[in-house]
Chain A
Amino acid sequence: EAQVTQNPRYLITVTGKKLTVTCSQNMNHEYMSWYRQDPGLGLRQIYYSMNVEVTDKGDVPEGYKVSRKEKRNFPLILESPSPNQTSLYFCASSLKRGSDTQYFGPGTRLTVL
């Protein structure tokens, strides 16, 4: 089944404890991105990747890192999480660059205490 998977789905952590949220797609998509969703602010793009080893900042990149060593994986790294990063996170992928027909993962609900 074609899909985007994220792990973990739920995470509660404490300020400053490094964490990684994994994202994987099995559709051989070139483009991948991360969004966060907050009440009243909608979905905002954090980082995106056009292809392997090519990443760039979205609208709200502060406090996040990403890497794209393989085409299928695009992990989101929070080196020192803070409470303002408590949010619902979505990974998305699309077949080609510039395509807005994106497939989203199920989401990761992160709480930073």
Chain B
Amino acid sequence: DAKTTQPPSMDCAEGRAANLPCNHSTISGNEYVYWYRQIHSQGPQYIIHGLKNNETNEMASLIITEDRKSSTLILPHATLRDTAVYYCIVSRMIYNQGGKLIFGQGTELSVKP
């Protein structure tokens, strides 16, 4: 699976959009980009995933560049409860081999009042 690079930490003001970047320059054509977050030692929480097109759900938006070498997770109106470590993961869906997620170090997002 392709490796990802994320900034170790970011700050965001409450109520503003949080834009978390991720580089995955070695991504291959059948690999998806997933985002998870972990709030202070709780179980990681799935946020969103995408292949080529931009995606949006009730939690966030995912913007993937046309060459797919980078992506940005957008939390449109960050709240204090969004303070967490955010993981960008690139993974193939291999039907018969399960879904091992390889978590890197992630970005520690601090949302400040």
Binding site for B on A (CB under 8 A): 4, 31, 33, 42-43, 45, 48, 50, 56, 58-59, 88, 90, 92, 94, 97-107, 109
A residues in contact with B101, CB < 8 Å: 43, 45, 92, 100, 102
Q: State which size class the interface on B falls in.
A: 20 to 34
Quick one: given A42-B103, A42-B104, A43-B103, are A98 and B98 in contact (CB under 8 Å)?
Answer: yes
Any A CB within 8 A of the CB of B44:
yes
Any A CB within 8 A of the CB of B49:
yes
Binding site for A on B (CB under 8 A): 32, 34, 41-46, 49, 89, 91, 93-101, 103-106
> A58 contacts B100, CB within 8 Å?
yes
> A97 contacts B98, CB within 8 Å?
yes
User: In the docked arrangement, what's the CA distance between A109 and B98, Å?
Assistant: 25
Chain A: interface secondary structure? strand
Cross-chain contact of A94 among B42, B89, B99, B106 (Cβ < 8 A): B99
> B43 contacts A105, CB within 8 Å?
yes
